[in-house]
A = this chain, B = another copy of it.
């Protein structure tokens, strides 16, 4: 069992009130891969420039990530993003975005990836997301992320791909935007009608909300005392979530509930350090401990006497 992820790899320059990192490894597919790698073997499909060297590849390889699907464009430069966070980590300012080689990204699944049972479509053009699915030979379980940019500009194409998606990851503002509903329950129900069996609405520091036709589940965010760098938290959430499901080959209700907490746990680790630093040195035990903490944070014993 393994999972294929298609998305961006990038260099991120990140400034927070406490410090700054220059050109650290980032990108949706990177965070997703690192997070998922604690649960299942990961195969990465992405594009980078010549500046993406062995020292960067080795960060992924050390987590066992298969890089056969990583295209290096000769003479090209890797997607670059620079952002700045305020004292409140919810305040994020994009200082620079240089798409570079990512602009012409035409993902091709290596032959040995095509019969995958699990695939995650990172936040890329929905037209390309559909083209990726066309390359799969079987009927994989599909997770998908998107963003306001595609909701605004490629709404029809996004709806086309959603009909082929099992699990949609979307943040609360985008869920409202895509559904036209202000209420998250109504938004979730409207999104279910677009195709996915499972809608996961990410609310950042407020946790996440899962809705299917059969049940609803709410997970808190892990109450982190020090958020160093929230970059990649959403992708790490999806990585922990999808990685756990793919690793167990299950998508039933008990597994989906646990996936919410595994996603939350891995996302919380990501925020503890810059870039993927924390995701490089995790252990499955540390994730399990945080999972247990999350269970503890929400669990109640039923009353004896009301």
On A, residues with C-beta under 8 Å from B are 87-89, 182-186, 189, 203, 205-207, 209, 211, 215-220, 223-227, 248, 254, 257-258, 260-261, 284, 288, 295-303, 305-306
Contact = CB atoms under 8 A, between A and B. Distances in A.
Contacts of A248: 305
Given A206-B203, A216-B223, A218-B220, A261 B183 contact: no
Nearest to A284: B306
B258 A303 contact: yes
Contacts of A299: 257, 298-299
Contacts of A288: 306
Nearest to A219: B298
A203 to B, nearest CB: 7
B225 A185 contact: yes
Given A218-B207, A297-B218, A223 B254 contact: no
A300 B262 CA distance: 11
Contact of A218 (B87, B227, B298): B298
A300 B295 contact: yes
Contacts of A185: 223-225
Most buried by B among A211, A223, A260, A302: A223
Contacts of A206: 203, 206-207
A182 B88 contact: yes
Contacts of A189: 225
